[in-house]
Amino acid sequence: MKIRVYYEDTDFGGVVYYANYLRYMERSRTEYLRERGVDLLDYHTRGFLFAVVEANIKYRKPARYNDLLEVRSAIADCTAVSMTFDTTIENAAHDLLVRGAVKLACISTDGKARRIPREILEVLK
């Protein structure tokens, strides 16, 4: 997915504030699932939440105000209770800016671990 860097995304130096890459990665994960028919709001109303339990990010080069970024996510690992996404963020020149991995655990609305619904696992594997 493409994301434009807005002024609000940047720090005083005009580069993307480091934590904003996590927001970009979340958007990409959400769209990845949506494109495969997984509506997170629907699962939320059914009592399934997906909480970030681990994030690992490697910053290589900065993105700057007005850059157009390409954010790509893919499933790296999937178990009965968790899924791990690998994400890359590149600029328009195809320079790798950021690479990250985020692990999500499936939990109930009261915070207890639960199995990922079978239909989601089928789509992801």
Catalytic residue among 9, 11, 39, 86: 11
Query: Is residue 67 annotated as a catalytic residue, yes or no?
Result: no
How many other CB atoms are there within 10 angstroms of residue 119's CB atom? 11
CA 18, distance to chain mean position in Å, is 14
Ranges of H-type helices in 36-101: 40-45
Instruction: Provide φ and ψ at 50, rounded to 5°.
Output: -125, 110
* Residue 98 contacts residue 59 (beta carbons within 8 Å): yes
C-alpha–C-alpha distance, residues 3 and 20, integer Å = 12
Place of tokens 């720090």: 11
- What amino acid positions are annotated as catalytic residues? 11
